[in-house]
Amino acid sequence: MSYSKDNSEPRAGLIVKDHVFDVARLLGDSALSTIEQLLASWDDADRRLSDAVERLAANGDGAIDPQDPALVGQRDTVKEEKMLRPGAIFCVGANYQQHIDRMAAIRNVDMGKSTTELGLPPYIFIKPLQSLAGSGEVISVASRSLDYEGELGAVIGRAAANVGKDDALDHVAGYFVANDLSARDRFIRPGVPPVSPFRCDWVGHKVFDGSCPIGSDLLPARFVKDPQDLRLKTWVNEELRQDSSTSDMIYSVAEIIAYLSTLVTLQPGDLILTGTPSGVASETGNFLRDGDKVTVHIQGIGNLFSQIRIL
């Protein structure tokens, strides 16, 4: 995770039994004080973190030593920060089959052959760094059709260029929880004919300050047996809106990474959001309102909280 204390700069923390340890102090290496520094040498850092966890678990009865100099405090007493400042944020659209099926049914549209039947790659778009927000932040946006999109995110830990699907996951450092917020009322440009290729505004409805909240926790990839077998849930206040599995993805995490790596060399720290399942507000009309609290949970990884302010 990324944390701060006493208004300090964000630092890398390791969560063990709901306690946070400062990574640099735990490893005795000041050059590994941030998530970005860990990712820059991920293979070595991951091994050292694994060894550190084993050492902590081997202490007597496994209890946390309150005198450990690397101990920051209990998880709920530590301020969470944005996980990292990435080099790039790649997102995948229309990547869950049930979501596509529901949207097609609502709009009474025959989708014809699927993208995979047509031999097409994943649909990719990007978000700028300014779109990032941390867990617990207030997201302010002028939109009357603001939508949530709970998503599984992957962080690149090793540079990837033209990698195959079978090797793609070897380049993942870990996984995190994300929410691809979307201002649906900015998507269609008024007055532009439906046949025009310039009718849809992807930047307008996907890019605004805080449109990409990400969790502060990064679960190392070695703890995720299969990224295509994770439960994802999204609540708005107390109402469960999304309840699905990453098994419903059309393009797997490995396929997404393999394809992206043919377009551009992926670098350590790059983020990849892998799409959202069914249950979004565009399917129901239940868009976010001022004061709403959005919670995204992914099995084994953690939670992401966002407070919504409609301007």
pLDDT in tens, 67-124: 999 999 999 999 999 888 899 999 999 999 999 999 999 989 888 899 999 999 999 9
User: 10: domain range?
Assistant: 2-80
Taking CA atoms, 135 is separated from 152, 178, 294, in Å, by: 15, 9, 10
96 and 170 part of one domain: yes
SS3 call for 125: strand
The mean per-residue pLDDT over the stretch 228-239 comes to 99
- Three-state SS string over 150-193 comes to EEEEEEECCCECCCCHHHHHHHEEEEEEEECCEEHHHCECCCCC
Percent of the chain whose pLDDT exceeds 90: 90
Report the pLDDT value the prediction gives residue 118, as an integer from 0 to 100: 96
C-alpha–C-alpha distance, residues 158 and 153, integer Å: 16
| CATH label of the domain that carries residue 140 | 3.90.850.10
Task: Let me know the angle formed at the C-alpha of 180 by 237 and 225, rounded to the nearest 5 degrees.
Answer: 95
* Distance of alpha carbon 251 from alpha carbon 14, whole angstroms: 31
pLDDT higher than 80, residue 213: yes
Query: Where does a domain end: 80, 101, 119?
Result: 80
What tens digit of pLDDT does each residue of 171-210 get?
A: 999 999 999 999 999 999 999 999 999 999 999 999 999 9
Q: Do 142 and 197 sit in the same domain of this protein? A: yes
Which residue among 54, 80, 106 closes a domain? 80
60, 129: one domain: no
Distance of CA 196 to the CA centre of its chain: 32
How many structural domains are present in the chain? Answer: 2
C-alpha torsion 95→98→100→101, nearest 10: 160
- Domain boundary at 38, 54, 80, which? 80
User: pLDDT at position 64, please?
Assistant: 82
pTM of this structure: 0.96
Measured CA to CA, the distance from residue 131 to residue 209 in angstroms comes to 5
- Whether 76 and 151 map to the same domain: the answer is no
Strand 132-133 with 219-220, pairing: unpaired
Q: Are residues 190 and 56 in the same domain?
A: no
Number of residues that make up the chain: 311
Task: Check whether residue 48 and residue 144 sit in a common domain.
Answer: no
- Report the distance separating Cα 142 and Cα 146, nearest Å: 9
Q: Looking at the structure, do residues 162 and 19 belong to the same domain, yes or no?
A: no
Task: Estimate to the nearest angstrom the gap between the alpha carbon of 284 and the chain centroid.
Answer: 24
Give the model confidence (pLDDT) of 123-157 as tens digits: 999 999 999 999 999 999 999 999 999 999 999 99
Report CA 217 to chain centroid distance, whole Å: 10
Residue 62 has pLDDT above 70, yes or no: no
Arithmetic mean of pLDDT, 252-274: 99
Q: What are the backbone dihedrals phi and psi of residue 170, each rounded to the nearest 5 degrees, phi first? A: -65, -15
My answer on whether 94 and 75 are in the same domain is: no
Q: Are residues 57 and 115 in the same domain?
A: no
The whole-angstrom separation of Cα 149 and Cα 275 is 8
Helix (H, G, I), strand (E, B) or coil at 213: strand
- Can you tell me the distance from the alpha carbon of 162 to that of 143, in angstroms, rounded to the nearest whole number? 39
Mean residue pLDDT of the chain comes to: 96
